Amino acid sequence: MAIERTFSIIKPDAVKKNAIGGVTAKLEEGGLRVIASRMVRLTEAQAKAFYAVHKDRPFYGDLVKFMTEGPVVVQVLEGENAILKNREIMGATNPEKADAGTIRKLFGTNIERNAVHGSDAPETAAQEIAFFFSGADLAALAR
C-alpha cells in the first residue's frame, strides 16, 4: 500500500461547533497525519470553482452559500492509502446513514451540513491540494 496525500476541508458547520480539534483527532486516530493546514474564509468564486463538478445539481447554490457562511480549515492529509482511509473515517455523505464513530455521524447535521469534505480519487486529491496549497508550501513542510 502506498503513502498517499489527500485533501480535507473542515466545513463551516464543524468550525462553528468548535469541532476543529474533534475532527482532526478522528483523522489522526485513523492513522492520517496533517501535513498542511490553514483556516480560510472561502469567497463565492472559490466555492463555486471548487465545487464546479456539481454545478448542474439542484443543491449547488445552497452548497456554495453554506461553504462561504463562515471560516473553514483546509488540510492536506498523508498516510497509507490516505484517500480511501479518509473517506472511511468521514462516513457517508448523509450523516444519518453514516456508520457510528465516523466524523459525519459525530459532527454532521444533515446531508448538506456534513462537517467535512474529502477527495474521492487520486486525480481529485491532486487537483484539490493544488487549489489551496502551493508546491513550495508542501516542500517546506515535508518531513
Enumerate the active-site residues.
117
**Within 10 Å of residue 9's Cβ, how many Cβ atoms?**
22
20-59 residues near ligand ADP, rule: CB under 6 A:
54, 59
Residue 131 touches ligand ADP, criterion: CB under 6 A: no
Distance CA 22, CA 10 (A): 10
Q: Which is nearer to ligand ADP, 85 or 117 (CB)?
A: 117
* Total residues at interface with ligand ADP (CB under 6 A): 9
The nearest distance, CB 33 to ligand ADP, in angstroms, is: 22
What is the per-residue DSSP string for 16-81?
Answer: HTT-HHHHHHHHHHTT-EEEEEEEE---HHHHHHHTGGGTTSTTHHHHHHHHTSS-EEEEEEEEET
Q: Which is nearer to ligand ADP, 34 or 92 (CB)?
A: 92
Residue 111 touches ligand ADP, criterion: CB under 6 A: yes
Q: Which is nearer to ligand ADP, 5 or 117 (CB)?
A: 117
